[in-house]
């Protein structure tokens, strides 16, 4: 079985046999896979009236546990975007009634972002079909292959110091 990356690697091996291009096989596949998965997830969330980033913010708040709130800074770190981008995202979600800003009781200079009842219901309604969709996307892997892939990806992420979410 051969994929597009195999064809690219064969071309490089033909043109530059002096260079071992094996890393391109890994990075190229991960990059292509990320692009394909991103497109699938974008389409899935669009079918539920959301952008992918909207679900990410809502899900981050939901999994934080009661009272389902975080500082904008914590959300910013979890989303890995600029502070301006997270402010814009919070504004848009607040306009839709999915989150609200509440004063931080411990630090008057800080604001916390809280999931509204509507926001929580939205996440809870979409979570199960979202997981089912991701299961569909990974259906080509047997359980043992999934576990092996999870372990290998974890090793790579840890080696690149990606060990915390906030």
| Domain locations along the chain | 52-123
* 100 in Cβ contact with 120 (< 8 Å): no
Least confident of 29-43, 66-80, 91-105, 133-147: 66-80
Annotate 68-94 with DSSP letters as a single string. Answer: -EEEHHHHHHHHT--HHHHHHHHHHHH
Q: Taking the CA atoms of the chain, what radius of gyration do you get in angstroms?
A: 20
Percent of the chain clearing pLDDT 90 (strictly above): 77
State the pLDDT confidence band at 166, using cuts at 50, 70 and 90: very low
pLDDT score, position 131: 97
Could you give the CA distance from residue 147 to residue 14 in angstroms, rounded to a whole number?
Answer: 35
Given the candidates 1.10.287.3510, 3.40.50.300, 1.10.10.10, 3.90.79.10, the CATH classification of the domain at 52-123 is 1.10.10.10
pLDDT score, position 103: 86
Least confident of 8-12, 64-68, 103-107: 103-107
| Chain centre distance of CA 26 | 20
State the pLDDT confidence band at 51, using cuts at 50, 70 and 90: very high
Could you give the CA distance from residue 55 to residue 49 in angstroms, rounded to a whole number?
Answer: 10
């Amino acid at each position: 079985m051969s994929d597009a990356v195999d064809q690219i690697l064969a071309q490089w091996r033909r043109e530059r046999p002096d260079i071992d291009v094996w890393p391109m096989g890994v990075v190229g596949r991960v990059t292509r896979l990320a692009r394909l998965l991103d497109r699938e997830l974008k389409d899935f969330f669009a079918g539920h009236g959301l952008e992918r980033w909207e679900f990410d913010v809502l899900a981050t708040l939901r999994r934080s546990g009661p009272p389902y709130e975080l500082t904008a800074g914590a959300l910013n770190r979890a989303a890995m975007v600029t502070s301006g981008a997270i402010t814009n995202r919070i504004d848009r979600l607040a306009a839709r009634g999915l989150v609200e800003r509440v004063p931080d009781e411990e630090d008057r200079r800080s604001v916390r972002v809280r999931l509204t009842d509507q926001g929580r219901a939205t996440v809870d309604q979409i979570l199960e079909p979202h997981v089912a969709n991701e299961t569909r996307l990974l259906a080509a892997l047997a359980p043992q292959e999934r576990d092996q892939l999870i372990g290998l990806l974890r090793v790579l992420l840890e080696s690149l110091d990606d060990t915390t979410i906030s």
